[in-house]
């Protein structure tokens, strides 16, 4: 898919998701609306920017457009499928395990599966653990500490 087409598609998809978030945030008010509203604004601005850049990014001639199509990386369908399946399992596991345990499992598992195959398992595990720890601490700090937004509850925690 050409860069222009993928930018337009990504922009429209982001705007659609922001619209769904907006429609679902109708019952929220006060402080509980703070983070969703910020996310909706961020997604709307980002989606509009990507959509506009796709509309405005035209190859100057047909030769340049053909060259662009040849140099683009192919989509790694297997990796996209793994991420999509992992995300579905992650969302399903959150109510059972809780947000943070499910997030740790998801991030560590995805980092192990999707990491470079040219390194040893010990190096992959160490890099995955560091990545998971840094991201989970950043999420906790941002949501629980700075914003005071509770994370999803679970059956076990």
* Mean pLDDT per 10-residue segment, the chain (157 residues): 77 88 79 79 92 80 54 72 88 86 93 85 92 92 79 66
Q: Is 92 exposed, middle or buried (0-12, 13-18, 19+ CB in 10 A)?
A: exposed
Main-chain phi, psi angles of 155, to 5 degrees: -70, -40
| Report field, pTM of the whole predicted structure over 0.75 | no
Provide the pLDDT for residue 131: 94
Q: Give every CB contact of residue 137 below 8 A, 6+ residues apart in sequence.
A: none
So what's the pLDDT on residue 109? 94
């Amino acid at each position: 898919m050409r860069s222009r087409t993928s930018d337009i598609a990504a922009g429209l998809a982001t705007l659609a998701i922001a619209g769904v978030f907006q429609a679902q945030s109708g019952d929220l008010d006060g402080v509980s609306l703070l983070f969703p509203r910020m996310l909706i604004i961020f997604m709307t601005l980002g989606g509009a920017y990507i959509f506009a850049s796709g509309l405005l990014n035209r190859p100057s001639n047909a030769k340049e457009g053909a060259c662009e199509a040849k140099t683009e990386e192919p989509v790694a369908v297997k990796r996209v499928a793994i991420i999509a399946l992992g995300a579905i399992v992650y969302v399903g596991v959150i109510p059972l395990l809780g947000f943070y345990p499910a997030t740790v499992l998801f991030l560590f598992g995805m980092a192990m599966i999707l990491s470079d195959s040219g390194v040893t398992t010990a190096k992959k595990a160490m890099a995955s653990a560091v990545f998971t720890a840094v991201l989970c601490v950043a999420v906790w700090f941002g949501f629980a500490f700075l914003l005071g937004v509770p994370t999803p509850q679970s059956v076990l925690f």
